[in-house]
Copies of this chain bind each other. A is one copy, B any other.
Amino acid sequence: MATSIGKKLWAIAEGYIPPTSVGEGRALESHETVCMLNAGDTDAHVAITIFFSDREPAGTYRLTVPARRTLHLRFNDLEDPEPIPVDTDYASIIESDVPIVVQHTRLDSRQAELALLTTMAYSEG
């Protein structure tokens, strides 16, 4: 019943975790999210690399998106091998061993009211 859809290599050129939030609670905390959908019947083993403007890339961050599941991962929550600094421009590459779909979303609550952005990531392969 599951549908295999997606690509194995994705890129997000924009990345920025706002340094502050005024929103209350985790849902309204400023965050940057990579939304991954694995619609197929095989678990997806995902490797994320983070690129910066002035240093060598960070990573590899490794995680699993189970078969027929979606994972909305906050970049803020990445810790191993190192956290991503706030208030810093970055970009990311997402590689998977099976096809997935990747979308990028940011909720910015630096000011009293929130702002949102989203886009499908760029894909190949």
Which residues of A does B touch, CB under 8 Å?
2-3, 5-6, 9, 11-16, 23, 27-28, 33, 35-37, 39, 49, 51-54, 56-57, 68-72, 87, 89-91, 93, 95, 101-106, 108, 110-124
Contact = CB atoms under 8 A, between A and B. Distances in A.
Given A69-B53, A89-B72, A13 B36 contact: yes
Contacts of A51: 37, 39, 68-70
A121 B37 CA distance: 12
B115 A113 contact: yes
Given A11-B39, A119-B119, 5 more contacts: A5-B11, A14-B72, A14-B118, A39-B49, A116-B117
Contact of A121 (B39, B52, B53, B120): B120
Nearest to A27: B87
Contacts of A95: 3
Nearest to A113: B113
